[in-house]
């Protein structure tokens, strides 16, 4: 099958290569042509041209505005993709933007799934991503064989936008857990107790979690090199809080964690791993 791919960053590139390795004919468009260097793929001059050549197009892009531009803008996918073809957007964007894009594509008979992923760069490389899909169930079944090359847990959440809601929930839980681990490590340290020992003990009990394992270890090692760039979690928290506001749902903990992420950005840790939330707590203890 001819499969298009847009967004060849840390996540997108290994995902595109998995599809190609599985025997798909890979087509790409890249805003910076250099990002397509060395890929076994046909390079197209515009998203529209890519869309015209492919049955299924994947996008993995950072912001709502960028996804909207690539899908609906001048030379966007909507001007090339044929009726019956499918856009699978694996980016993390606002649920209402996902619905709007899906609605406009549907007017031209183009299908869309919002299919954000969780698992990070490691999950993308290992093809073990969790994929949460919103859109028509039959469309998901059509592209499921492709998604199975990218991840292990593929769940149909509901109609368009539902995948992005699930991703927002994922980010709420994960980043709040990182903050909880950071505060525990910080407390241990401030009380003169070895954080490594605390982490080791906790891992066996009710507080055990993947975040404690992975992010806790980074905090113990003081290895704050990304990982997941914290600025992306900061961006996602903006989306989560906007969605909570639209629904009139109070999210006290999320709002509080968002302030720690704001501080993280101000302290210049945006391109480091989110385990840097520990360093925000340490900055708060230094005084002036």
Partner 1 sequence: MKIGFIGLGIMGRPMALNLLKGGHQLSVWARRAESMQPLLDAGASGAASPADVARGQELVISMVADAPDVAEVMRGVASAGTSGLVAVDMSTIAPAAAKAIHAELAAAGVDFVDAPVSGGEVGAIAGTLSIMAGGSDAAFARAQAAFECMGKNIVHVGGPGAGQVTKAANQIVTGMGVLAVAEAMAFASKNGVDRAKVREALLGGFAYSKILENHGQRMLDRNFKPGFKSWMHEKDLNIVMQTAHELGLCLPGSAATAQMFNAMVGSGLGEEDSIAVLKLLENLSGQA
Nearer to partner 1, 122 or 247 (CB): 247
Report if residue 251 touches partner 1, rule: CB under 8 A: yes
Report if residue 255 touches partner 1, rule: CB under 8 A: yes
Report if residue 108 touches partner 1, rule: CB under 8 A: no
Report if residue 232 touches partner 1, rule: CB under 8 A: no
Rounded Cα–Cα distance for residues 268 and 211 (Å) = 23
Nearer to partner 1, 140 or 182 (CB): 182
Least distance to partner 1 from the beta carbon of 129, Å?
27
Say if strands 56-59 and 111-114 run parallel, antiparallel, or are unpaired. unpaired
Rounded Cα–Cα distance for residues 142 and 120 (Å) = 25
Q: Which one of residues 9, 73, 158, 238 is an interface residue with partner 1 (CB under 8 A)?
A: 238
Report if residue 245 touches partner 1, rule: CB under 8 A: yes
| CA 185 to each of CA 162, 210, 212, 270: distance values in angstroms, whole numbers, following the listed order | 35, 15, 10, 20
Least distance to partner 1 from the beta carbon of 230, Å?
11
- Name the token pair of 7: 């967004």
Choose the stretch contacting partner 1; rule: CB under 8 A; options: 20-28, 51-59, 139-147, 249-257: 249-257
Largest CA distance in the chain: 64
Report if residue 241 touches partner 1, rule: CB under 8 A: yes
Q: Is 112 helix (H, G, I), strand (E, B) or coil?
A: strand
Nearer to partner 1, 96 or 121 (CB): 96
Say if strands 42-43 and 129-134 run parallel, antiparallel, or are unpaired. unpaired
Active-site annotation holder among 167, 197, 199, 271: 167
Q: Which one of residues 164, 256, 273, 275 is an interface residue with partner 1 (CB under 8 A)?
A: 256
Query: Is residue 193 within 8 Å of 202, Cβ to Cβ?
Result: no
Token look-up 């499918």 returns 86
Q: What are the phi and psi torsion angles at 252 (to 5°)?
A: -60, -45
Nearer to partner 1, 128 or 247 (CB): 247
Report if residue 82 touches partner 1, rule: CB under 8 A: no
- Name the token pair of 47: 């998203």
Q: Which one of residues 171, 260, 274, 275 is an interface residue with partner 1 (CB under 8 A)?
A: 260
- Name the token pair of 206: 């009710």
Site size toward partner 1, by CB under 8 A? 22
- Name the token pair of 26: 């890979």
DSSP 38: T
Nearer to partner 1, 78 or 257 (CB): 257
Whether residue 167 lies in the annotated active site:
yes
Rounded Cα–Cα distance for residues 102 and 87 (Å) = 9
**Site of interaction with partner 1 (CB under 8 A):** 234, 237-238, 241, 244-245, 247-252, 255-256, 258-260, 262-266
Catalytic residues, by residue number, are: 167
């Amino acid at each position: 099958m001819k499969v298009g791919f847009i967004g060849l960053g840390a996540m997108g590139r290994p995902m595109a290569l998995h599809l190609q390795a599985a025997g798909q004919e890979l087509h790409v468009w890249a805003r910076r042509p250099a990002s397509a260097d060395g890929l076994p793929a046909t390079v197209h001059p515009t998203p529209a041209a890519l869309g015209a050549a492919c049955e299924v197009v994947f996008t993995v892009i950072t912001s709502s505005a960028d996804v909207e531009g690539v899908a609906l803008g001048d030379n966007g996918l909507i001007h090339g993709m044929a009726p019956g073809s499918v856009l699978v957007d694996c980016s993390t964007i606002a649920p209402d933007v996902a619905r709007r894009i899906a609605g406009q594509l549907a007017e031209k008979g183009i299908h869309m799934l919002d299919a954000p992923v969780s698992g990070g760069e490691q999950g993308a490389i290992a093809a073990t991503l969790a994929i949460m899909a919103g859109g028509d169930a039959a469309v998901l079944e059509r592209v499921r064989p492709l998604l199975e090359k990218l991840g292990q847990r593929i769940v149909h959440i509901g109609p368009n936008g539902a995948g992005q809601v699930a991703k927002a929930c994922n980010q709420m839980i994960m980043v709040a857990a990182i903050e909880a681990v950071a505060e525990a490590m910080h407390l241990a340290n401030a009380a003169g107790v070895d954080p490594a020992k605390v982490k080791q003990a906790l891992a066996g009990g009710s507080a055990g979690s993947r975040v404690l394992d992975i992010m806790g270890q980074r905090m113990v090692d003081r290895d704050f090199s990304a990982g997941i760039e914290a600025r992306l979690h900061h961006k996602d928290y903006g989306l989560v809080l906007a969605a909570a506001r639209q629904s009139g749902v109070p999210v006290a903990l999320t709002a509080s964690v968002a302030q720690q992420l704001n501080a993280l950005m101000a302290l210049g840790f945006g391109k480091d791993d989110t385990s840097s939330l520990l360093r925000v707590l340490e900055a708060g203890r230094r005084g002036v």
